[in-house]
Amino acid sequence: MLPLGFSSGLPFLLVFSTLSTWLREAGISLTVIGMMSWVALAYSLKFLWAPVVDRYDVPVLSRLLGRRRGWMVLTQLGVAAGLIGMASTDPQSGLPFTILFAVLVAFASASQDVVIDGWRIDAAATERQGMMAAALLLGYRLALITAGAGALYIAEFANWRSAYLAMAGLMVVGLIGTLLAPRIDEGPARERLPIAKAIVEPLVDLFRRKGPMLIPILALIACYRIPDYASGIMANPLYIDLGFSKADIANVSKLYGVWIGIIGAFAGGLALTRIGLWWTLLIGAVIAAGSNLMFSWLASGHATLWGLTLSISVDNFAGGFAGAALVAYMSGLTSPGFAATQYALLSSLYALPGKLIGGASGAVVENFGYPTLFTGTATIAIPLVILCIVIRRDTMKTVAEKEEAAGLETAPVGAGSRA
């Protein structure tokens, strides 16, 4: 699971913030860089083709390796081919080709995530999924450091071509993990699920259980991470425009910042057990949006290494905290019969609006400046707080239902249960 987690995390920054650094250094306009964030929409839309990955074999590879591992190898080779293609392009003279190969990387990477999650769920019993997820997360975080700090270091001391070729070579880690993974799907290819069963029925179940309250719930999920996505695409160009070197960005943002984000996620998990889901969700909404004010402060005459470190510390901690809160909330909204599909749909919803809006962030900066963008995204905290207040009673009810269900499933007769 550890190398598969690494393979899953490696491509993401290479079509997101690391790519935006390369493009900005190449003189590409902020408007274009902002629109490049739409490449990552593949991660939000992967539920559309997930039934194909889940139900059909890859010719030859599935016969040799099994359905899951066959798809893993195909998608990993697709990521590597896309990264090699990006390395062979020059954004200044051949930006369309850079975009084309970036789309290939994003599509193959999103498909790899689908099949790795499917293999993980099939490969281990429920009581072992916690350890599987922990190994996946560790591998993913190590990959973020590699694709963030590692790629910037290589680009600083060599060039961007060498950086992306090196990242393509590191996809061999995922291939090794795939070959080491047990073959667990020996049966014939399954038919594709009918669209009604795959998508419509889970949505109907949500409407049936939540009623009109589903509207503010979905609005909260859709808006919760918008500040994070807006800052994510424009943060690296800001650092470049303020005169920070790629080594500075790598040290502070891609090494130090990743670990601060992990600390924030653990803090969010601790808050969930201490003060409950609703308060954690509310605090996460406020600090995640409010942390964007640090980038406005940084752009307003505080472009020092200390200022960079402070801004990234606040932003990454808040992002990790809010991410833990949102994952817990979305997990609580699912029902047992549709948990996987409903969670996939909800997680796609929370990522989609942020990426769409993030695509326009470059145009905002070019017309109004960095402080205006980051101050504007911070104000999203106001409607988020209102939405949290609206759904408070439903959130309390959901938590109580989950606790009752857990008690019925795990506690002996007469024993109490505790979330």
pLDDT of residue 400: 66
Mean pLDDT for the stretch of residues 356-368: 80
Q: Which residues contact residue 386 at a Cβ distance below 8 angstroms, ignoring those fewer than 6 apart?
A: none
pLDDT of 182 above 50: yes
Place 415 in a pLDDT band, splitting at 50, 70 and 90. Answer: very low
Residue with tokens 């759904």: 391
Beta-carbon count within 10 A of 169 CB? 12
Nearest 5 degrees, angle CA 19-CA 43-CA 149?
A: 35
How confident is the model over 142-168, as pLDDT tens digits?
898 899 889 999 999 999 999 999 999
Reported as a single tens digit per residue, the pLDDT across 23-77 is 988 989 888 888 887 887 888 788 777 777 776 789 999 889 988 899 999 999 9
**With 60 as the cut, is the pLDDT of residue 230 above it?**
yes
Query: How far apart are alpha carbons 110 and 227 in whole angstroms?
Result: 22
Backbone dihedral region of 182: left (phi > 0), alpha (psi from -120 to 50 degrees) or beta? beta
pLDDT band at residue 193 under the 50/70/90 scheme: low
Please report, for residues 77, 89, 265, the alpha-carbon distance to residue 97 in angstroms, rounded to integers and kept in the order given: 19, 7, 37
Residues 6+ apart with CB under 8 A from 152: 18, 21, 163, 246, 247, 249, 250, 254
Res 126 pLDDT > 60: no
Structure-token pair, residue 395: 């959130």
* Mean predicted confidence (pLDDT) in 248-272: 84
> Rounded to the nearest 5 degrees, what angle is found at the Cα of 76, between the Cα atoms of 148 and 342?
85
User: Taking 60 as the threshold, does the pLDDT of residue 127 lie above it?
Assistant: no
- Long-range contact set of residues 395-402: C-beta below 8 Å, sequence gap at least 24: 395/277, 395/278, 395/281, 395/329, 395/332, 396/278, 398/277, 398/332, 398/333, 399/276, 399/277, 399/278, 399/332, 402/332
**Cα separation values, 404 from 66, 81, 415, Å:** 40, 49, 12
Residue 96: per-residue pLDDT: 93
387 vs 198, residue with greater confidence: 387
Q: How far apart are CA 257 and CA 309, in angstroms?
A: 8
The amino acid sitting at 88 is S
**Both tokens assigned to 281:** 């969700």
Check whether 134 has a pLDDT greater than 70: no
Among 81-95, 123-137, 205-219, 364-378, the range scoring the smallest mean pLDDT is 123-137
pLDDT at 195: 54
Whether the predicted pLDDT of 414 surpasses 70: no
Question: What pLDDT shows up at residue 405?
Answer: 55
- The full set of domains in the chain, from first to last, is 1-182 (1.20.1250.20), 201-406 (1.20.1250.20)
Which residues fall within 8 angstroms of residue 41, CB to CB, at 6 or more apart?
106, 352, 355, 356
d(CA 52, CA 118): 12
**pLDDT for 369:** 87
Query: Span 73-97, mean pLDDT?
Result: 95
Sequence-ordered alpha helix ranges (H) in 170-213: 172-180, 195, 201-210
Tell whether the torsion through CA atoms of 248, 251, 254 and 257 is positive or negative: negative
Amino acid at 171: M
- Predicted model pTM: 0.69
pLDDT of residue 196: 55
Average pLDDT of span 332-352: 69
Mean pLDDT for the chain overall: 83
Confidence label for 189 from pLDDT (cuts 50, 70 and 90):
very low
Question: According to the model, what pLDDT value does residue 112 have?
Answer: 92
Q: How many percent of the chain have pLDDT more than 70?
A: 85
User: Tens digit of pLDDT for each residue in 267-312?
Assistant: 888 888 888 888 999 999 999 999 999 999 998 888 899 999 999 9
Q: Specify which of 310-319, 338-347, 387-396 reaches the highest per-range mean pLDDT.
A: 310-319
**Could you tell me which residue, 152 or 200, shows the higher pLDDT?**
152
Give the 3-state secondary structure of residue 152.
helix
